[in-house]
Chains A and B, each alone.
Chain A
Amino acid sequence: MAAGVVEGLVSLGQIGLIIVPVMIFLEMLKETGVLEFLNRRMSPYTRLLGLPGSAVPALSAGLVFGLTFGSGIVIQTAREGRLTRAELTLLCLFLSICHAVIEETVIFLAIGADGLLILAVRLVVAVLLTASLARLLGVLAGRSTSVHDGT
């Protein structure tokens, strides 16, 4: 129990060490207008997943650093009121299946598994599953899933 708390605190420290610089970097991108530009440019692709362009920072952070870091950015994006609950579920579904792709692929290669095949399966399944759930939720909600645009 005590060991779990200590371990959890150490991991949290590591999470903070990544989330804080990423947040500062995002604020800078926002200030210069680069973030808005990226969100607009990427929104045709995120829309395939039923997501607005404002999901781009969370998607990137999750794919590179991992789900915990990505969801830190998800929480912040949600707090700024940029995503609906359905969109949050789609975003977290995608990231739950496909995250920390560099680190995990390297580890699988190291133990002798076909890391690149595993990465391909992850990406394809994550895209298909998220896009399907987006259509399903859109139908259930009786509207198109691509109501959002940019920010």
Chain B
Amino acid sequence: MRSVRALSVEVIERGARKGLLVTLELAKYFLPAVVAVRMLEAWGLLEPMSRLVEPLMTYFQLPGEVSLALVMGAVSSPYAGIALLAALGLSAKELTIASTMLIFGHSLIIETAIVNKAGANGWLIAGLRLLSGMAAGLILARLL
């Protein structure tokens, strides 16, 4: 009976071994990426980066302060960006546009490292995420 064999110790062990090995494999790329992100934050590099993209915000019909949330999201995590967005007191439309852009381009350092590790072309993917996020932001800004 195949269904009985599926619950055997051997199958469970094989799955657990694969899971642990893959987690260790991820660690080699994940840990340096997390440390790099924390260093960028600690050195206060996010604010200057956000000032660079601030002039672009008008194209997305967003106030300039949103640029810091988008940069925080792109560099560290979407949650860092979302927390800041929530604190800015934006309209529902602005929130939806900014959140869409954030969701396309977030955690780029960590996720590019992971995706490269998985054997994909992470740089191409990161570029496409940023471009498609900006395109979606432009379209929503016109439509909403």
Give the B-binding residues of A (Cβ under 8 A): 1, 3-5, 7-9, 11-12, 15-16, 19-29, 31-33, 67-68, 71-76, 78, 83, 85, 88-89, 91-93, 96-97, 104, 107-108, 111-115, 117-118, 121-122, 125, 129, 133
Contacts and interface: CB of A to CB of B under 8 A. Distances in A.
B132 to A, nearest CB: 5
A28 B7 CA distance: 7
A109 to B, nearest CB: 10
B136 interface: yes
Nearest to B98: A113
A117 B96 contact: yes
Interface of B: 2-3, 5-7, 11-12, 14-16, 18-20, 22-23, 25-27, 30-31, 34-35, 37-39, 42, 78-79, 82, 85-86, 92, 95-96, 98-100, 103-104, 107, 110-111, 114-115, 117-122, 124-126, 128-129, 132, 135-136, 140
A4 to B, nearest CB: 3
Contacts of B104: 97, 122, 125
B2 A88 contact: no
B38 to A, nearest CB: 3
Contacts, number: 178
Contacts of B3: 32
12 contacts: A5-B34, A5-B35, A8-B31, A11-B34, A28-B7, A33-B2, A85-B121, A92-B125, A108-B99, A112-B86, A125-B132, A125-B136
B120 A97 contact: no
Contact of B31 (A3, A5, A104): A5
B118 A9 contact: no
B35 to A, nearest CB: 4
A76 B18 contact: yes
Contact of B5 (A21, A31, A129): A31
Contacts of B135: 125
Contacts of A25: 15
Closest 6 CB pairs of A and B: A24-B15, A20-B19, A4-B38, A23-B19, A27-B15, A8-B34
